[in-house]
Amino acid sequence: MKERIVVDPVTRIEGHLRIEAETENGRISNAFSSGTMVRGIETIVKGRDPRDVWAFVGRVCGVCTSTHSLCSVRAVENALGIIVPPSAELVRNLMIATLYMHDHVVHFYHLHAFDWVDVVSALKADTSAAARMAQDMSAWPKSSQGYFAAIQARISRFVASGQLGIFANGYWGHPAYKLSPEQNLIAVAHYLEALEWQKEVVKVHTVFGGKNPHPNFVVGGMPCSINLHEPNAINTERLAFVRQRLEEARTFIDQVYLPDLMMIAGVYRDEWGRLGGGVSNYLSYGDFPMAEYGETDSYLMPRGIVLERNLSLVHPVDARSPSEIREYIRHSWYSYDGGDREGLHPLSGQTNLNYTGPEPPYTHLNVEDKYSWIKTPRWKDMPMEVGPLARLVVAYAARKEPQKSFIDDTLKKLDLPAEALFSTLGRTAARGIETALVANWALEVFDKLMENLRYGDSRMVNHTLWSPNLWPDRAEGVGLSEAPRGALAHFMVIEDRQVENYQMVVPTTWNASPRDAVGVLSAFESALIGTPVHDANQPLEILRTIHSYDPCLACAVHLWDESGSYVHRADTF
């Protein structure tokens, strides 16, 4: 018997996502992913000063805060041929590293954990046993019986108040929860600790960018001056403050996040190491340049594409090439002059609004036709997964270290084959592995920055091309980066010193898009097929797989123009 499950709002994500799924005999047989909000930011930046755009597009997302700003200044620098000073490039790497650590930890504990962790079960835990277990897992100094008893008492008091707040109406007691009460208590304790921890690591953004969320960037480098002999600039005290934050972050990631991840993975691996694989192609633009941004060989995260899960071959990717990346709108609320079946490169695309969905309030979308504000991007007409798993898969296939050894070690500890990576659990594990790597890289980058300063190179901005008078009449640029959630591309055309065209193809557009013109499913929809749903009224399993991608919807849906006639130029590249 067919049954239609609707999850809307999908919570514990950024933005507005709706999932409609059909089940047959307790398994998902078809799925539809819909982004239900638009803002039109690309239209808004048209005609503005290209040096301002980072601030506008930074507001595409406050969760992946800073990543769009960075991508935007890279697009301007790429268009004008600006090379960022080496120390500024390192500070930018510290900005990205900080974002990764913050974002991945918050995702694991505050957005994803309740898919695996039963808070109510933690009330039944034996606190002595929990303490012993936690002490066996890591050297984290807080793991005493008294600590777990205090956490348990706090949760008991909270539950007993009858006001369950953010814990209300969870799927508590669902048979798909498999952790022991002690394991649940450990995870809940660390949920609370991570909540306190996350406000510390972002202080790196505050030192260099002035605030978080939405720290500041500048075309040509970073706005923060470093001057070791000045109280009014970033000096030795500020740098020591940053190093302290980075060290504490690494300690937490190594002693709390990774052990918890391994604990959860150890319990769920048999089932969830097989489910939720989704599409079998993986795209990464790469990031963390250790030399110039243009020198992709220096990237700590390599660039490339893996097709059909073939871990012996990495394909090159060229985001500028009109024959590689194309966006489709067969099932998105837009129209193209050439019809619904056409696919267009972002810079020769059209963005004509065409809402054909039901008038709200509605109960179901018309999934046979258009059903989302998200366009459907394809690489050479193939669907791609992007994100931590894609980055690690590309690095693994490229035999890149330390990624490969770390992945091999983790698989060995969990007693899983490499194929288990291609699953819901693999995706969640990849995020943790990546966080541990980034925590190390952050300190390496910091040390390299110190080395530059020792040699007297504290330059933060290349302002030789700051003045628009020096710019050509027309210039085009592409900014690429790896946001925590995956491959991010900003495309910019500058004409008469103003933005003539701006386009973003963002991670969740790849992952959460509707099917394409020939009916091929994108990552979310594809990953849900075959997933068992124990209780249609409590579709915990859907949340597990969707959350494993860390959806970010505000990023994904931004592409349209009210006039309905915004035709991008076809001759840009």
Q: Say if CB 553 and CB 16 are below 8 A apart.
A: yes
Assess 484 for contact with other proteins (CB under 8 A). Answer: no
| Segment interacting with other proteins (CB under 8 A) among 2-10, 252-260, 313-321, 522-530 | 2-10
- The site map against other proteins for 401-440 (x = CB under 8 A) is ----------------------------------------
Assess 150 for contact with other proteins (CB under 8 A). Answer: no
User: How many Cα neighbours within 13 Å face the side chain of 75?
Assistant: 32
- Please report where in the chains the tokens 């700590």 appear, as a residue: 300
Assess 128 for contact with other proteins (CB under 8 A). Answer: no
Q: Is 497 exposed, middle or buried (0-12, 13-18, 19+ CB in 10 A)?
A: middle
User: How many Cα neighbours within 13 Å face the side chain of 109?
Assistant: 26
Assess 4 for contact with other proteins (CB under 8 A). Answer: no
Q: Which is nearer to other proteins, 284 or 428 (CB)?
A: 428
CB of 98 vs other proteins, minimal distance in Å: 11
393 φ, ψ to 5°? -65, -45
Chain positions 64 to 103 lying near other proteins, rule: CB under 8 A, are 65
Binding other proteins by CB under 8 A: which of 29, 167, 465, 495? Answer: 167
Q: How far apart are CA 99 and CA 249, in angstroms?
A: 12
- The site map against other proteins for 183-202 (x = CB under 8 A) is ---------x--xx-xx--x
CB of 85 vs other proteins, minimal distance in Å: 9
CB of 212 vs other proteins, minimal distance in Å: 6
Q: Say if CB 132 and CB 138 are below 8 A apart.
A: no
Q: Which is nearer to other proteins, 153 or 313 (CB)?
A: 153
Q: Which is nearer to other proteins, 7 or 382 (CB)?
A: 7
Assess 453 for contact with other proteins (CB under 8 A). Answer: no
Assess 166 for contact with other proteins (CB under 8 A). Answer: yes
Q: Would you tell me how many other CB atoms lie within 10 Å of the CB of residue 158? A: 14
Q: Which is nearer to other proteins, 203 or 274 (CB)?
A: 203
Q: Is 308 exposed, middle or buried (0-12, 13-18, 19+ CB in 10 A)?
A: exposed
Q: How far apart are CA 342 and CA 325, in angstroms?
A: 13
Assess 470 for contact with other proteins (CB under 8 A). Answer: no
**Neighbour order of strands in the sheet with 486-495:** 474-483, 486-495, 498-505
Q: What is the CA radius of gyration of the chain?
A: 23
Chain positions 237 to 276 lying near other proteins, rule: CB under 8 A, are 241
378 φ, ψ to 5°? -140, 145
Contact residues for 468 (Cβ-Cβ < 8 A; gap 6+):
49, 497
Q: Which is nearer to other proteins, 136 or 359 (CB)?
A: 359
Task: Give the distance, in angstroms, between the CA of residue 511 and the centroid of all CA atoms in the same chain.
Answer: 11
CB of 436 vs other proteins, minimal distance in Å: 23
| Segment interacting with other proteins (CB under 8 A) among 150-158, 321-329, 420-428, 442-450 | 150-158
Q: How far apart are CA 311 and CA 397, in angstroms?
A: 5
- The site map against other proteins for 22-61 (x = CB under 8 A) is --------------xxxxxx-xx---xx-xx--xx--xxx
Interface with other proteins: number of residues (CB under 8 A): 111
CB of 453 vs other proteins, minimal distance in Å: 13
| Segment interacting with other proteins (CB under 8 A) among 255-263, 377-385, 442-450, 461-469 | 461-469
Q: How far apart are CA 393 and CA 371, in angstroms?
A: 31
- The site map against other proteins for 210-229 (x = CB under 8 A) is xxxxx-x-x-xxxxxxxx--
Binding other proteins by CB under 8 A: which of 108, 114, 140, 549? Answer: 114
- Please report where in the chains the tokens 């991945």 appear, as a residue: 104
Q: Say if CB 101 and CB 438 are below 8 A apart.
A: yes
CB of 466 vs other proteins, minimal distance in Å: 6
Q: Which is nearer to other proteins, 98 or 403 (CB)?
A: 98
Assess 541 for contact with other proteins (CB under 8 A). Answer: no
Q: Are strands 325-328 and 17-24 parallel, antiparallel or unpaired?
A: unpaired
Q: Which is nearer to other proteins, 230 or 270 (CB)?
A: 230
Assess 233 for contact with other proteins (CB under 8 A). Answer: yes
Angle at 342 between CA 277 and CA 279, to 5 degrees: 5
* Dihedral (CA of 505, 390, 314, 403) sign: positive
Q: Say if CB 263 and CB 44 are below 8 A apart.
A: no
Binding other proteins by CB under 8 A: which of 25, 232, 323, 469? Answer: 232
Binding other proteins by CB under 8 A: which of 209, 289, 302, 346? Answer: 209
Q: Which is nearer to other proteins, 9 or 81 (CB)?
A: 9
Residue type, 432: G
Assess 527 for contact with other proteins (CB under 8 A). Answer: no
Q: How far apart are CA 452 and CA 170, in angstroms?
A: 51
Assess 399 for contact with other proteins (CB under 8 A). Answer: no
CB of 244 vs other proteins, minimal distance in Å: 12
Q: Say if CB 568 and CB 503 are below 8 A apart.
A: yes
Q: Which is nearer to other proteins, 11 or 405 (CB)?
A: 11
Q: Which is nearer to other proteins, 213 or 402 (CB)?
A: 213
Question: Minimal CA–CA distance to 171: which of 120, 108, 125?
Answer: 120
Assess 10 for contact with other proteins (CB under 8 A). Answer: yes
**How many residues would you count in the chain?**
573
Chain positions 323 to 362 lying near other proteins, rule: CB under 8 A, are 333, 355, 357, 359-362
